[in-house]
Amino acid sequence: MLDVFHFIMKGLFITFEGTEGSGKSTQVSLLAGRLYGLGYTTRVLREPGGTPIGEEIRHTLKHSQANDAMTAEAELLLMNASRAQLVREFIRPALAKGEIVVCDRFYDSTTAYQGYGRELELPMVKTVIDLAVGDTRPDLTLLLAVTPSVSEERLRSRQSTLPFIRDRIEEADREFFERVAHGYEKIAEAEPQRVRKIDATGDVETVRQAIWREVETILPTMNAKA
């Protein structure tokens, strides 16, 4: 458990990771609502994006008509340009005020997608990440793990209710997403204290409770029940 002094001085930084359709956005909202209800000033952010500049970069990365030719290196730098802005514009100021920051994806996504997925050299990926974040690192990362078939099924059911919007990153082949999932396994193995793997194949409430059990351990003394 982090001590109360750490929390007041540094805030608390929680990130969510996982493949698409693993339920990150759903659980980010539920966690933030719970923390907010308990009286914690909580800021929810997402990557890529989260700032006005970052949201423009997000559009370029995902939906721009002209992004077909984007190279893996350009993708790496754009993800981290968005991140560098988010860290300095919102994350550091919020943490300095002792707030809880909950971010939907952070630099582990770059290691998993641009490092393992796009197969860029991991030391180079790390150098770029280090430049973007400096010493701003998550206290806790929740890695939501689902099988590829669960992920595909959830995305299919969501797509059936929404108008189609092209997404360049989702157009990658299945091998790419398998490499991403493998990358997340390696990340969790390398930092088991920070990165907590959550079985996210169950229903929303079961996953919410598993997440809360992890979050509870790093909150300062409180009497909340799951």
Cβ 3 to ligand Z5A shortest distance, Å: 30
Q: How far is the CB of 222 from ligand Z5A (least distance, A)?
A: 25
Residue 67 binds ligand Z5A (CB under 6 A): no
Distance of CA 58 to the CA centre of its chain: 14
Helices marked H in the chain:
4-10, 24-37, 52-62, 72-86, 92-96, 107-110, 122-133, 148-159, 174-190, 204-216
Torsion, Cα of 120, 121, 122, 124 (10° steps):
-100
Choosing from 24, 43, 92, 196, the residue that interacts with ligand Z5A (CB under 6 A) is 24
Type of residue found at 31 = L
Q: Does 136 bind ligand Z5A (CB under 6 A)?
A: no
Site size toward ligand Z5A (CB under 6 A) is 24
The CB-of-79 to ligand Z5A minimum distance in angstroms stands at: 4
Does position 48 interact with ligand Z5A (CB under 6 A)? The reply is: yes
The 3 state secondary structure assigned to 161-221 is CCCCCCCCHHHCCHHHHHHHHHHHHHHHHHCCCCEEEEECCCCHHHHHHHHHHHHHCCCCC
Contact region for ligand Z5A (CB under 6 A) — 15-23, 84-92, 131-139, 185-193? Answer: 15-23
75/99 with CB nearer ligand Z5A: 75
* Angle ∠(109,113,117) on CA atoms, nearest 5: 155
How far is residue 172's CA from residue 118's CA, in Å, rounded to a whole number?
Answer: 10
Q: For the window 75-114, what string marks contact with ligand Z5A as x by the rule CB under 6 A? A: ----x-------------------------x---xx--xx
Q: Is 191:137 a contact under the CB 8 Å cutoff? A: no
- Positions in 139-158 near ligand Z5A (CB under 6 A): 154, 157-158
- Could you give the CA distance from residue 118 to residue 95 in angstroms, rounded to a whole number? 32
* Footprint (CB under 6 A) of ligand Z5A, residues 166-195: 169-170
60 binds ligand Z5A per the rule CB under 6 A: no
Catalog residues that contact ligand Z5A under the rule CB under 6 A.
18, 20-26, 47-48, 79, 105, 109-110, 113-114, 154, 157-158, 169-170, 203-204, 207
